[in-house]
Every structure is written in structure tokens, then in C-alpha cells.
Structure 1
């Protein structure tokens, strides 16, 4: 008989997911290979997820839920699993993203993670570290599921024009990323404004920051350094950053003009080149 790894379901959300997957599969009388055949994945992958050696995806979870009749258990768990795989210092921030009713972010040179395209995510996360890149990218992309909630947060991003020109991942990646931003052009809950170079000095010269607003809790200001995050509810900091954000949003191009600029840069800088 093959050796079966024993998971402690209390060790982590990933272990709990694997434990529940195995429990429901065995209750259905299926081998890993048989379940894999049903959901169009390999039996080996099913085994890796069951033993917490592979992260489950949302698609995998939905297919297995349907196959095993779990009532959506694994689909509900996968978000928790993904957040648990974030760097420890960032997990609190991911929880803020989930609970916030409004997220207002100013980004100086890079698209915010909640609006990054898959290839852009891989390019950003792959700098100096290619280890488990696909899993780390999947974890970041899973954060974007907050926009699929029935009561999704209102999201505002004021983005420095430099982010449109910083060629992260190459021309094709940037074209895909800018096209991704344009998909939100008519979404009133996801708003992108570009802060043009012509503004000159502005209220965000000290760097990027994010405001998290909630239905009943105090506003949180979040700033980030290398491998560290700094959330604070200090009233003076919140007041200062809220004022700065109001000035940045006022100085930025309108949502419509911002979309036009994004479209123009996408075509002029990253469009197909004629030999």
C-alpha cells in the first residue's frame, strides 16, 4: 500500500484544505487518479494538493466541489488558503482589503497589485526571485477576487505617469497591463486617474500610500518598504494622508482623460512595430 501523508488540519489553512479534499474524495470512493480524470487534472496534482505541497486554484476548487458535492466548501476555503500564503507582514493588509468599503491608493511608479495583469504580476514578483513564481503569482492574483464580492469595495488609484512608461516585463507585458487597466474604464467601482508629468511638484512626493476606509472602523493608512508594511490608524497620519490624497486626485487627469492617455501610451509606446 502506498504511503499516505498524514496532515494536521489545524496546522494551516492549506493543510485544512488538503485534509478536507482527501476526506471528501475518500467518502466518494474515488482514487486520486479517478477524481483527477473527472475534474480534468492529473491524479498527481490532486495528491499534491491533498498533501499541502501544491496550492489549489479557484478553478480546481470549483470543479472538485461540483464533482464531490461538497456544497462549495473548497471554493470558500481557497481564499483563506491564498491569503495564508502571503508574506506574514502582508497578511494583515490582505485582510484590510477584504473588509474595506473603499480603497484609495496613490502609486508612484508601479500598478497596484489589485489591478495587475497576470504577466505583470509574474514580472514584478520574479525580480531577484524565481522560486515558486507561479504559486506566488496565483496568491497575488487571488486578492483581486474582492472585486467579485456582492458588496465589493470602491477602488480609486491615482497613478504616476511614470508607471505607464516603466517597461516592466517588456513591451507585450506592458501592452497587456495597460489594456487590463482600460477594462475598468466604465466600471464606477474601479477608478483609475493618471497624475501627469506636467503637474510638477505634488502632494505625493514622499511616496506611495493607501487609505483603507470601513463601514464602522477607523480609516487605516498603509505604507510599504522592502519586505515590510506599515499600517496605522494614527488620527494625525490619517488626516494628513487623506488631505494629500484629495489634492492628488484633484491634480490628476479625469477618469476619461486618464483612459485616453493610457490608450495613447499603449498604442504609441507598446503597439506593434512595423519593420
Structure 2
């Protein structure tokens, strides 16, 4: 996949492109032609001999896993603990005395002071007890943001900021329903392998994100799904059934257009993967795609144009709105 490094998804550049939607059709055919004729060449043409990694390299790879990164040192969390220890000492409090005042255990105080773990509720309680004016809550938020950042796909933070300002959103989902339309339980099932406190924060942000659909200045949204999304049970049958019920409710809003590309369509342009195109009131657009936890905003007009063309092509295979709703209802009844 061009522009994306497979090593932790960290080593490629995240770029943003603003380009006029109306101008995209002008270069569409040239875009597709150039993309089909060009290929990505990595290194020389000489064959390479596989080299067995050393034990040190294997150990390093084991350390650099998403789970290990998630549990690695968080400087803001450590500073939170140091500030708590300093404040407790200045007030001549033992760990047990502070724990009794906060209604927790001495072990939890020790855990926070060591920088291993903190909680929003404890941060609020500490600010109340020590009258620190939100100091600990701000530290908790910083530590929490640091925890979440490595989990988010590169490029998604910039994308989510732009999404809030969009006048139009075109979404195509090939395998999994977009977070913009997910219920809380569906999202929780998606984040089941993420550490609990981090997962809950990601879910909270995802639920806030849904306000884009219902806000006063809600954008026009076109959501197109491959039928595969409907037949993939996420979490449980009950969770999936409830999710599709929510999706049908969203589709009845005046600003949401829902279509499904049926299996009977066979091969179509959307099988290459999910993507989103955001449009703005100044006539510019950006394109975002995400795969295997890696996200990217594009800088090349040819790449953005290819997604615009791809969306138009796959929409030609989609069922009309009412038939799409009927298909979703049928799938719900079978769950």
C-alpha cells in the first residue's frame, strides 16, 4: 500500500490535501491511467536473501507491540504520581490517611504515586480534597491523551478535526461499520483488545462524535455499505441487531442517505477498502482511508481523485434507499 510503512504504522508522512470537488472529474481519467501504469519500486531489482533475525531483534519486536506500547512509560502519568506524592508529603499525610479521606485503598494511592495508573474520578477527588483548582484533572487528561494517541490510526486526529467542519461526508464501508454510526456496545466490541480505561475513553469520544449526525448544522451524509458489513456479527447477535436498528433510525434523518451494495453485484470498485471524502463550503475536499489500523490523508491529487471516482463507480452497484433498508431489516430478523 503506497505511502504506508508496515512497521507500527509510524514511519510514513501524514499529509492533507484540499482540492476542488468539481475539478476532480477533469483529471479523473488521467488519474486512473497514471495509477494503473505506475508502480511502487522499493530498492533494487536484485533478489534479496532472507536473513534470520537475531534474538535481540526478536525481543525488540516483541516489545514494540501495540499492547506493550499501551503499557509503556507515560511521563504525564508519572508526573501525576510525583505531584500527588509531593502534595501528600507537604500535608503530612500517610497513604492510609489520604486513602481514608478519598474513600479508596492505600494500594490505590500507591499505584497512582508510582505512575502505573490513574483515574478521572480520583483526579477530581484530589482536586476537591487539596483544593488545587483542577490541577490533577488537567494532568489526568494529559496522561489519558498520551495513552490514546498511539492507538489512533496516523492521520485520524487531523481527520476528526476536519470532519466536524465538513458540509458533506461520503463514506464507504467495506468490512466494518463506520465509527460515526456505531452504538456504544458495538464500539466496545470493536475495542475489546484495548486496555479497559483507554477503551472507555475511546468509546466516549466515539459517542460524542455521533453528534455530527444530529447537530444543528449537521452535514449531508452519504453512507454506502458493502453487504458484507451486514453479515458480520460484532460482539453478539443482540449487539449487532441493535446496531442495525440504530443504523435504520439514522437513515431516516433528512441529512442521511443510506445504500447497500449487495453481494449479487460481484466485483466492484469498493472491494479495495473503506474510505471517506469530506466536502467543505469553500468547495474544497479531503480524502481519508484506513486499513488494518493505519489511516492516511492524501497529498497527491491523483490519489484523491481515484477515491472520488471509486465512490461514483461503486454507487452504481448500490441498491436504492428503500431496498437497502429492507435488506438491513431482513438481516436483523435473521440474527
Q: Scaled by the length of structure 1, what TM-score is found? A: 0.67
Q: In terms of Rg, which structure is larger?
A: 2
How far apart are 1:217 and its partner, in Å? 5.3
Secondary structure class of the residue paired with 1:167: coil
Match of 1:209 in 2: 275
8 Å contact from structure 1 (residues 120, 177) kept in 2: yes
**Is 1:140 paired with 2:218?**
no
Aligned equivalent of 2:183, options 106, 114, 117? 117
Equivalent residues in 2 for 1:131-170 (5 A)?
Answer: 131-132=196-197, 133-170=199-236
Match of 2:319 in 1: 253
Determine the C-alpha separation between the residues in 2 that align with 1:252 and 1:174: 22
Match of 2:36 in 1: none
Determine the C-alpha separation between the residues in 1 that align with 2:233 and 2:257: 22
Secondary structure class of the residue paired with 1:212: strand
Equivalent residues in 2 for 1:1-275 (5 A)?
Answer: 46-47=124-125, 50=134, 51-52=136-137, 87=152, 89=154, 90-126=156-192, 128-132=193-197, 133-216=199-282, 218-268=284-334, 270=335
1:208-262 Cα offsets, whole Å, 9 max, x none, are 1111111115311111133431111532222221121112122111111111111
Determine the C-alpha separation between the residues in 2 that align with 1:185 and 1:106: 15
How far apart are 1:88 and its partner, in Å? 7.3
Unaligned runs of 5+ in 1: 1-10, 16-32, 34-41, 56-80, 271-275
8 Å contact from structure 2 (residues 169, 276) kept in 1: yes
8 Å contact from structure 1 (residues 185, 256) kept in 2: no
Unaligned runs of 5+ in 2: 1-75, 81-101, 103-119, 128-133
How far apart are 1:45 and its partner, in Å? 7.4
Higher RCO structure, 1 or 2 (CA under 8 Å, sep 6+) = 2
1:143-198 Cα offsets, whole Å, 9 max, x none, are 11222332111111111111111111011110110111110232121222111000
Taking only aligned residues, the RMSD between alpha carbons, in angstroms, comes to 2.9
Q: 1:129 to 1:153 in 2, by over 3 A?
A: same
Following TM superposition, the consecutive aligned residue runs of length 4 or more in structure 1 with deviations greater than 6 angstroms are none
Determine the C-alpha separation between the residues in 1 that align with 2:204 and 2:262: 32
1:98-143 Cα offsets, whole Å, 9 max, x none, are 11111111111111000001100000011x2233122221112111
8 Å contact from structure 2 (residues 273, 291) kept in 1: no
8 Å contact from structure 1 (residues 218, 233) kept in 2: no
Determine the C-alpha separation between the residues in 1 that align with 2:306 and 2:226: 20
Aligned length: 205
